[in-house]
Amino acid sequence: MSNSMIIGQYIPGDSFVHRLDPRSKIAIIFFFVIIVFFANSVMSYGLLALFAIGSAATSRIPLSYIMKGLKPVWFLVIFTFLLHLIVTKQGEVLVSILGWEIYEEGLIQGAAISLRFFLLIMVTSLLTFTTTPIEITDAIEELLGPLKKVNFPVHELALMMSISLRFIPTLMQETEKISKAQASRGVDFRTGSFKDRVKAVIPLLVPLFVSAFKRAEELAMAMEARGYQGGEGRTKLRELHLGKTDVYLYILFILLVIGLFLTRS
């Protein structure tokens, strides 16, 4: 499979992270997304980065593979950093190039926001790397279980989210195939005016949408053929159980939260 987009892919393995209960992974990632915004010092960002890199290392997924697969995200990270350099005009002037002044606060805020964004993408990507779509569906359904009492379609929502995650790499791979086929026919996506580029994208979007609808129809027919009728009365092949590894994870995360607030400036 192409490494140009890794979000949504599952990589089989037997690592510490793979063996965790999917409910634990979703809960930890949810709270990680929250505490990232409380970091405001070098030490606090260092702890978050250490947790993210340590999680990637214990998943036994090569860090080089993750970095290579996050290429589409690098543009947003760099753009966010440059935007803060241009917009923020606070603090001392560090460098002045051709009338363009870079302020100290702009550099700090740009680096902080970019690092936050990168850590969020990296940690949330580990969920799909180490968890199958079926496990994600079961975990979301379990976590949102109390909402069933108010007739909220928990199972359908969880199934929809897991299918969406599963189809991200599939659609990206399909886009790559179609773009190469169009390029072999002389379609140029990179040169010309903005109007010409938009026109060149149309031959790419039409077959992509046709392929997406076709895959959706095939999936619906397959589910119907297997007797799928929603979540009512369904049983599970694998029951979710919290183990010792999940307890260790919660303890480690609590220590991370304590360390984060102790190192805040």
- pLDDT tens, position by position, 65-111: 777 767 777 888 888 888 888 877 887 777 777 677 788 888 888 88
Q: What is the mean pLDDT of residues 210-218?
A: 88
Q: Exposed, middle or buried: residue 77 (CB in 10 Å: 0-12, 13-18, 19+)?
A: middle
Q: What is the mean pLDDT of residues 180-191?
A: 74
Q: What pLDDT shows up at residue 180?
A: 82
Most confident of 149-163, 195-209, 227-241: 149-163
CA distance 169 to 163: 11
Q: Assess whether pLDDT exceeds 90 at residue 30.
A: yes
pTM for this model (two decimals): 0.74
Please state, for a pLDDT cut of 90, what percent of the chain lies above it.
Answer: 18
CA distance 135 to 138: 5
Please state, for a pLDDT cut of 70, what percent of the chain lies above it.
Answer: 90
Q: What pLDDT shows up at residue 219?
A: 87
- Type of residue numbered 166: R
Which string of b and e fits 240-252 if b means at least 16 CB within 10 Å? eeeeeebeebeee
Q: What pLDDT shows up at residue 1?
A: 41
Q: How high is the mean pLDDT of the chain?
A: 82
4-8, 54-58, 148-152, 169-173, range with the lowest pLDDT: 4-8
CB distance 70 to 122 below 8 Å: yes
Tokens standing for residue 106: 């702009």
> Which has more pLDDT, 25 or 124?
25
Q: What is the mean pLDDT of residues 149-157?
A: 84
Using DSSP, how many helices (H) and how many strands (E) does the chain show?
10, 2
Q: What is the mean pLDDT of residues 30-38?
A: 93
Closest among 112, 15, 125, 25 to 67, alpha carbons compared:
125
3 state SS of 93: strand
pLDDT digits (tens, 9 = 90+) for 103-139: 888 888 888 888 998 898 888 888 888 888 788 888 8
